[in-house]
């Protein structure tokens, strides 16, 4: 059934994620090989920083601790929600993209300056939630059902609870006394999506409908399988102390 498959794909486009790994590696190689990077002098950096983050992981609050001129550790919590209405095959539905995660990571500053390479772990409860109320006959699995048989249709799309991320970025607050900005981009490996569909109509307790619902779940999971690795970009506003 097209109600959910195409609707889920309406949020931020992930199509370019296949090209991003090469871009990330190229950028890393360029920075590491740059003579200016090796000459970049690290100024005295406050050991602690708090940052407000905004980007593809949602809105967040981040704490940074410097362990030396080249090494830092970070912890962050993200959360927010983006809701939108859409129409697919003449069916009105509501969709929510929910950000809910925390991140623990380590950064290497090769030149003691703003540029950094990052690795970390994401406690991942990011998900999609959907609701549709069909007003005409719709096909679930391979079977057409009336609106009364379907009722309200609810869907959850979730990913692995734990995800690894890798990326690169710049923390310009390292060159500032108190305030500065940061930028990070990279990839999150969050596993294949798991889809759960529920309905409230008159056919919900029949074995045939449940079988069709499971087939629909499997089809959506297959269609969204390219979301197992997704790009991210975040902008930060940091205060050092």
234, 76 contact by CB (below 8 A): no
Report the predicted TM-score, pTM, of the whole model to 2 decimal places. 0.73
Does pLDDT of 185 surpass 70?
Answer: yes
Neighbours of 42 (CB within 10 A): 15
CA distances from 87 to 10, 134, 203, 224, 239 (A): 11, 11, 24, 19, 43
Judged against a pLDDT cut of 70, whether residue 6 lies above it is answered with no
| Residue 224: predicted pLDDT | 84
First to last CA, the chain: 54
CB 103: neighbour CB atoms within 10 A? Answer: 23
Report how far residue 131's alpha carbon sits from residue 152's, in angstroms, rounded to the nearest whole number. Answer: 7
The Cα 153–Cα 131 span in angstroms is 6
Residue 135's SS3 state is coil
Percent of the chain with pLDDT over 70: 78
What are the distances in angstroms from CA 175 to CA 207, 217, 239?
A: 64, 50, 12
- According to the CATH classification, is domain 2-11+48-240 in 3.30.479.30? no
Q: What is the DSSP string of 214-232?
A: HHHHHHHHHHTGGGGEEEE
CA angle centred on 87, ends 83 and 91, rounded to 5°: 115
At which residue do the structure tokens 């307790």 appear? 205
Domain ranges of the chain: 2-11+48-240
DSSP state of 201: S
Ranges 10-14, 67-71, 100-104, 220-224: which has the least confidence: 10-14
Whether residue 78 is predicted with pLDDT greater than 90 in this model: the reply is: yes
Residue 146 DSSP SS3: coil
**Residues with Cβ within 8 Å of residue 109, at least 6 apart in sequence:** 42, 69, 70, 71, 72, 115, 116, 171, 174
Q: Over 80: is that where the pLDDT of 39 sits?
A: no
Confidence of residue 175 (pLDDT cuts 50, 70, 90): confident
- Asked if pLDDT for residue 189 goes beyond 90, the answer is yes
Of 236 and 135, more confident: 236
pLDDT for res 94: 84
């Amino acid at each position: 059934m097209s109600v959910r498959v195409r609707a889920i794909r309406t949020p931020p486009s992930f199509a370019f994620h296949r090209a991003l790994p090469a871009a990330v590696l190229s950028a890393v190689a360029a920075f590491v090989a740059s003579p200016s990077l090796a000459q970049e002098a690290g100024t005295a950096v406050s050991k602690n920083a708090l940052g407000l983050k905004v980007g593809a992981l949602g809105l967040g609050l981040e704490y940074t601790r410097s362990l030396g001129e080249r090494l830092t550790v970070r912890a962050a919590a993200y959360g927010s929600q983006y809701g939108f209405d859409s129409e697919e095959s003449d069916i009105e539905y509501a969709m929510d993209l929910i950000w809910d995660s925390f991140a623990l990571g380590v950064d290497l500053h090769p030149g003691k300056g703003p540029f950094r390479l990052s690795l970390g772990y994401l406690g991942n409860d990011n998900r999609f939630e959907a609701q549709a109320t069909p007003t005409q006959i719709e096909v679930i699995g391979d079977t057409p059902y009336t609106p009364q048989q379907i009722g309200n249709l609810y869907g959850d799309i979730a990913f692995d609870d734990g995800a690894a991320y890798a990326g690169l970025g710049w923390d310009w607050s390292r060159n500032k006394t108190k305030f500065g900005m940061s930028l990070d981009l990279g990839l999150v490996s969050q596993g294949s999506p798991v889809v759960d569909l529920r309905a409230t109509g008159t056919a919900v307790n029949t074995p045939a409908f449940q079988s069709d619902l499971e087939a629909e779940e499997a089809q959506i999971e297959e269609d969204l399988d390219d979301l197992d690795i997704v790009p991210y970009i975040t902008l930060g506003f940091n205060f050092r102390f």
